Amino acid sequence: MLNGSIWDKLLKFALPLAATGILQQLFNAADIAIVGRFVGKNAMAAVGSNSSIIALIVNLFVGISLGANVVIANLTGQGNTVKIEKAAHTAVVGAVIAGVIAAVVGEIFAPPILRSMGVPEEIYPLSMVYLRIYLAGMPFILLYNVESAIFRSQGDTRTPLICLLMSGLLNVLLNLFFVNVVHMSAGGVALATILSNLFSAILLFVLLTKQEGSPVRLYISKLGIEKRLLVKMLKIGVPAGIQGAVFSLSNVVIQSAVNSLGGDIMAASAAAFNIEIFAFYLINSFGQAATTFVGQNYGAHNMKRCRRISRITLLWDLGITISLSAIIYLLGAPLLSIFNNDPVIIEYGLIRLKYILLFEGINVFIEILSGSLRGYGHSAEPAAITFIGVCGVRILWVFTVFSANPSFGLLMAVYPVSWLVTAFVMIIAYFVLIKKIEKSNRSL
């Protein structure tokens, strides 16, 4: 990351990372597809009604894990192997503790969360069972993401991908087993997802203990928390997690509006979400690549290379995202039929895909610029911009524009509008902060 060409290295780093994110989302997509095919529309809507909540949790945890990524990447650029080792052990222990706390808090607030989203009464019991079981697996989800971040900080995105591929296959098999053999419904697919996450977390942990000659190798006897390093990780990770969660939090509000439009639209929206999200994970993977590459080079005080990394990452992401989004949109109908071949569900699903995929390129600017700023250690500013530009605009839209004319198409139009507002502000903030960062770097 510190020397040589950037174009090919970014691609080799980002594509396995995108595949990892897609596989994580496939856990939920497999749940929806299997219950949609073998149980029915109510079970499908029940799992789908939790999609925005689950995305919030995953995005929050991925963001928090970025704190470990940036800190370890900076230390790698500095060549500080002693602190790298301490940071890796701190990140793992911190992940387990945070995951347990999140699981307990989530279980307590699960009922009011679903009630506030207006889940229909006939779907509510199945939704609650799915959510409660899923929440119990939070420690495994966060641990996996932090372990993946440790590998990424060293430029390795393939190992987490291989582990997740194995656990993804396990998830599909367990889904089929719990639904078709044990005759469980939404709870069965949630249990399959948790067991799969546990498997991937354990597998990565074992691999980290066998990293011969690497400063990120884990030792059971050295597991503990270095307070200063943990504070640094949280300083970067929490705002990054909040930024990711803000997208999902606003989607929870939108999901509540979707729920008010009936079961068919709920099922259609859930199916479309699990298709369009593939494009988002591609965008996000290049954002995380920018964070790691900028993080290492900023640690080495190479500002010229940092700026070049941001430009190249933006170009890569724009080209691939626009191409992939167009392909997915053109294949929208057959992809939606995988989840449910009801013509009504496919019709509404295509409406959502149109508003999301045709404007996805705007989102690239948000992810790349905020990812670059996190690499410099500036995580709070992009989080604040996203909170106002994304969450604020979407909530305002739901309670004003949509409330005045409650149609599904008008509701979906909030996505490109909020992206446009946020991208505009993010671009201005990026150039202002870069000037300050370069001035500060010259004074060192």
| Crossing angle for the helix pair 81-116 and 227-259, to the nearest 10 degrees | 30
Q: What is the CA radius of gyration of the chain?
A: 21
pLDDT reading at 444 higher than 60: no
DSSP 72-135: HHHHHHHT-HHHHHHHHHHHHHHHHHHHHHHHHHHHHHHHHHHHHTT--TTTHHHHHHHHHHHH
Residue labelled with tokens 């699960």: 110
Q: How far apart are CA 224 and CA 231, in angstroms?
A: 14
pLDDT reading at 329 higher than 80: yes
pLDDT for 436 equals 87
Helix (H, G, I), strand (E, B) or coil at 304: helix
Least confident of 73-77, 321-325, 409-413: 73-77
Distances (CA, A) of 141 to 114, 160, 381: 21, 13, 26
pLDDT reading at 1 higher than 70: no
pLDDT, tens digit (0-9, with 9 covering 90-100), for 263-306: 788 888 878 887 887 788 888 888 888 888 888 888 778 888 88
Query: What end-to-end distance do the CA atoms of the chain give, in Å?
Result: 22
- Mean pLDDT for the stretch of residues 154-172: 84
pLDDT reading at 70 higher than 80: no
pLDDT for 84 equals 87
Give me the residue spans of the domains in the chain: 7-442
In total, the chain counts a number of residues equal to: 444
- Mean pLDDT for the stretch of residues 9-29: 74
**In contact, 366 and 243? CB cutoff 8 Å:** no
pLDDT for 420 equals 94
pLDDT, tens digit (0-9, with 9 covering 90-100), for 337-386: 887 788 888 888 899 999 999 999 999 999 899 989 988 888 788 888 88
The first and second tokens of residue 434, run together, are: 């870069």
CA nearest 49: which of 254, 259, 239?
Answer: 259
CA nearest 270: which of 20, 21, 35?
Answer: 35
pLDDT reading at 443 higher than 60: no
pLDDT, tens digit (0-9, with 9 covering 90-100), for 209-218: 998 878 889 8
**In contact, 293 and 313? CB cutoff 8 Å:** yes
Q: How far apart are CA 247 and CA 281, in angstroms?
A: 13
> What pLDDT band is residue 168 in, cutting at 50, 70 and 90?
confident
The first and second tokens of residue 154, run together, are: 């060293």
Amino acid, single-letter form, for residue 207: L
> What pLDDT band is residue 256 in, cutting at 50, 70 and 90?
confident
- Mean pLDDT for the stretch of residues 122-150: 86
**In contact, 283 and 360? CB cutoff 8 Å:** yes
- Most confident range (mean pLDDT) of 12-16, 311-315, 340-344, 437-441 is 311-315
pLDDT, tens digit (0-9, with 9 covering 90-100), for 35-68: 777 777 677 777 777 776 777 777 777 777 777 8
User: What is the rounded average pLDDT for all residues in the chain?
Assistant: 84
Q: How far apart are CA 193 and CA 172, in angstroms?
A: 9
Is the CA virtual torsion 317, 308, 380, 235 positive or negative?
Answer: positive
Q: How far apart are CA 166 and CA 178, in angstroms?
A: 18
In sequence order, the 6+-apart residues with CB closer than 8 A to the CB of 333 are 346, 350
**In contact, 375 and 290? CB cutoff 8 Å:** yes
∠ CA(142), CA(168), CA(103), 5° rounding?
25
Least confident of 33-42, 175-184, 221-230: 33-42
Residue ranges of the alpha helices (H) in 209-302? Answer: 227-259, 263-299
